[in-house]
Each structure stands twice: as structure tokens, then as C-alpha cells.
Amino acid sequence: MIMVTSSGIEGKRITRTLGLVKGSSIRARHVGKDITASLRSIVGGEIPEYTKLMAESREQAIQRMTEEANNLGANAIVDTRFVTSMVMSGAAELLVYGTAVVVE
């Protein structure tokens, strides 16, 4: 599956547009990781516990979107975008969406 953030793919021609596809993942923070992250925030720098959590969410959301595109018969997704939002205290949704297309 080709996935791009642009509206076209260089060297490919879009022959059919199949519509919107999306995938999402909602993850909650873990109390133990929150304590470690709080301590890290005092000294500054990256918080690897949250980096890993968001990376896992992103991969799961991409997988779900790709499955939806495959079910439509697509071989590419264009105009891919990511959005995050807090759904409750300590939990966030990561949503990925794009347009499923057939390219040749």
C-alpha cells in the first residue's frame, strides 16, 4: 500500500477514487509511566514512555486505515493526515485519515 501526504504520487496515475478511509486508536496513560514521565519533565528532554505510546497508537491507526483501504480495493492512500485529541483526562485519540485510490 502506497501512502502519501500529497494529493498525487509521482510517476503514478490515479485511475479511481474510492473515498475516505480512516483508522484510530485511543490510548490511556499508565500510572507507573506517569510517575517516571513526571520525574523526567523536571530535568527536561524527551519522555520516551510517551514517545513509545504515541508511536504504537500511530502504527495501530495506520494499520486500521490500510485494512479499510484494502477492503475497498485500493492500492494507495493519498492526502494522509494525522489528528490527535484528548478524549478524557489521561487518554488521547490518534486518528489518521486519507483518500483511498487505485493507481497505475
The reported pLDDT for the residue numbered 33 is 59
pLDDT at 39: 64
Report the 10 Å Cβ neighbour count for 66.
19
Show the domains of the chain with their CATH numbers.
Answer: 2-103 (3.30.110.70)
2 pLDDT band, cuts 50/70/90, is very high
Dist CA 51 CA 37 (whole Å): 11
> Strand 76-88 vs strand 14-28: parallel, antiparallel, or unpaired?
unpaired
Instruction: Say what the pTM is.
Output: 0.85
From residue 91, alpha-carbon distances to 16, 20, 36, 80 in Å are 37, 25, 17, 23
Residue 30 is predicted with a pLDDT of 63
Residue with more model confidence, 93 or 46: 93
CA angle 74, 92, 46 (to 5 degrees): 100
Q: In what order do the strands lie in the sheet with 2-3?
A: 2-3, 76-88, 91-103, 14-28
Q: What tens digit of pLDDT does each residue of 25-77 get?
A: 998 866 565 666 666 667 677 778 788 888 999 999 999 999 999 999 999 99
